Chain A
Amino acid sequence: MMGFGRAASAPAPRAPAPAEAPASDDALLVLYANGDPAAATELTRRHAPRVLGVATRVLGSRAEAEDVTQDAMLRLWKVAPDWRPSEAQVSTWLYRVTMNLCIDVKRKARGGHVDLDAIPEPPDPAAGAAETLQNSARHDALQAALMTLPERQRQAVVLRHIEELTNPEIAGIMEISVEAVESLTARGKRTLAKALAGRREELGYQDG
C-alpha cells in the first residue's frame, strides 16, 4: 500500500515549465470546431487585420474590404471541422480565399464575365480628394497607381511588395506558376513607376 502510494504521489522532479507557448492556428481551429468560443476571437485577432489590409489594397475600397474580410473569416469557420493542418497554413488559405473574393467583388461590380487581366481600372476619383497633406498624398498616390493595374497584377504586386510574401507563396495563393508571378510583379512595378513618374515633386521626392 505504501509502495503504491509513493509511486503515485512522487513524480520525478522537473525543470520549471517554460512560459506557455501560444496555441497554433491549427490547434485553435480544432478548439473552435469543438465549441471553444475564445478560439474564434483569437483567430480573428491574428488574421482579420491582414485580410482587411490586403483586401483594402486590392479593392481600393475600405467598405468592400470589410465585407470581404467578414466573408473570408466566415469561410474559415465553416471549414474548421474539416480542416487538415498538413494541407495548408491558415494564413495562406485565407490569402487565397481573400484574393478570390476580391475577384468576385470586382466581377459583380462589372456585372458580367469579363477578362480581369484585360481591362485596367480607372483611378479612384476619391483618391485625389484628400491630397492636402504629403503623407496622405503619398498613400493615395500609391493606391491610385495600384488601381490602374489589371486585377491579377495588382494582387501579385500587393502580395509581393506590401505583404512581403515569397514568389512560391504567391504562386500557391494565386494558383499560377512562379514564373507567372515574376512576370506579373515585374510588369506591375514598371507600370507603377511610370504612373508615379510625373509626381516626384508633388509627393516629396526631389530630383538628384
Chain B
Amino acid sequence: MAPKIEYYCPCLAESPYPPPPHLASSSYSFHALHNLFFCEECDAVRCNRCVLVEVSGYYCPNCLFEVPSASVRAEKNRCARNCFLCPNCRNTLTVVPSDPPEDVDSRMSPIVSTTLGEPPFFLYCNHCRWDSAEVDITFEKPTGLAAQLQKFEDSAPESLEFERLKEHFEPFLRASSSSTALPSASSHHVHTNPITAAASSALARDIPGVGKYNPLSRSRIGRDKAAHRQEYPDYKSRVEVGHAAALSGEVDVELLRHLETVGEVASLEQRWSNSWVTPLRASDLKPLRIPLQSKKSKRCPSCRHILIKPEQKAQSTRFKIKLVAANYLPAIAVTLPHAQAALEMMKRSSAKSVSAAAAAEEQQTAGALIAGHSYSFHLAFTNPLYDPIQIRLAKAVVPAHMTEDAEAAERARRSTFQIQLPSAAFPVGAFAEAWEYDDEDEDMFLDEDGVELLDARGKKGKDGRGKSRSVGIVDKRANVTIVSGEVLIPKEARGDVKFNMLVSYTYRSDDPEPSEEVEVGTPSRSHGTNKAPEMKNFSFYTVVDLGSIMYREEPKLTADL
C-alpha cells in the first residue's frame, strides 16, 4: 500500500487536538486535501461533514434537463420527460418502435422512412432486455411518455388516498403554521443549532405549512392541537384499510403457493425506491420515472459564508464560488524512498519475463516496513500561494490529561515506532503560473530536471542503507520543497505506522487593514497591496500513514543491520 497523508477537520472534536490515528473512529476526522474547503472568514478548514448543503438546482441525470424548482413538486421529484428506469436492473430505458411489417416494399417506401417508426412504441432495456410490452405498457407516439404514464400513476389507489389525506390536513396545517408563527419569533433561535435550523427552513420553504422545527414549541403545538381538535372532522379513507389488506394478502398467499423460482418475487431493491406499493411479482414491475438529481451549494457552518456555489447550468463543472482547501494549504505528498528504489529495481529486472502476479507480490514485500529497521521518508510540500511560505513541522502531542488510560498509552508509546521530523522551519517557493506552462521548449528543461532529481534520489537510497541518514531538506525547486524524516521501528512493533503531524506555516498576509488586530488573516491567492508585508501563521493537523509494519522471523536480516 502506498503511503498517504490526510488532513484534519476539527468539526467532530470537542478538543483542539486530533484523535489518535490508531483509533478506527479517527478516520472520520481526516480527509484527503481535495475533499476539504476553506472558509476565509473563519480562517478554518471545513469538510463535507460539517458544511451546510443547500440545493441550488434540480436536473434529470439522463436528459440533463434543468427542472425549475416550481415544477419539481408537481412532477414528484422525477423526470417528467422521456426518461425511465428499467424496473429490473435500473438501467435507463429507450423508446423503440414496433418491428416494421415484413414485406420489403413498404419498408422501402418513403412514407415509412420519414416517420420515426411503427406504432405502438414501447420501452426497452438495453441491458437486461426487459420491455414494457411485458406489462402492457405501449405508446401511440414516442414523445411525452411521462405524461401518458402519469395518468396511471395518479389513478393508483395509494396516490388518490394520499391526495385525499393532503386535502384533509390542509386547513389544519394552515391553521397550525399561523399559530406557531407568533411564538417562533420570540424563542426559536435559542435551541436550534445551525444545521437543524437550515434544514427546517429549507423544509418550510419547500413544503408550505410545515413550521420550523423546534423541540420546545412542539409541545405547544400539541396543546393547540388539543384545543382545536373539535374544529376538524375525522378523516374517512377511500377504502376501508382492513378490508383492502385482507384482499391483497390472500392474493399474495396464492402467489407464493405457486412460486417456482425466487426470481419471480421482486427483490427488495426493485421495490424499494418506488413511491407506492409495488407488485410482489417481478414480472408485474412497472418502469420508473428517473429521480431528479440536484446541484448543491455549500456554506460554512459557523459564519454562513458560501464556500461552493455552482454555475446555473446543470452540466457545467465551473463554480461561481469555490473555496477549496487545496488553494490555501500546502499539498503534501509522502513517499518512502526505499520502496521506490526497490520498485524501480524490480521494474528494470522484470521488464522481460516474470509474470505480473509474481511481480505484484514482490512489490508488496519490497516496499514493506520491517520491524527492527529504520527508514527515511520524504514529504513533498507544494505551495499553492503566490507568496513564499515558511513551514515548521511537529509531531502532534496529546496532553497527558487527554489520554484517560495513561498506563496503556505509555505502553503503546514504548512498543511503537519513533518518528523524527526536521525541527527547523524550511521555505517553500511561491506558486507562479509560469510553472504551469509546459510548452515544448520547457519540456526539455523539465526532463533534465527529472534526471538530476532521480540521481539524487538514487544516491539517497544508497545512503539509506548505510548508517548516515539526514533529516532535513532534500530538494527544493519551483514551489515544491521535499524534506525527509525518519521512522525507527522497534523489533516488537506491530500495526500501522501512522502518526499525527502538526504543520504550521507563515505566509504574508494581505489583509487591507492591519489595524484590525482581532481579525485573523487568511492566506489568499490574490496579490497583496504595497504595504509592508505582515506575516501570519496558520496551523493544521495531518495524519501520515506510511503503511503497516511487516514482521519477519528471518535472523539473517536482523544480523544484517
Decide whether A and B are members of one complex: no
Where the two chains meet, the residues of A that have a C-beta atom closer than 8 Å to any C-beta of B are: none
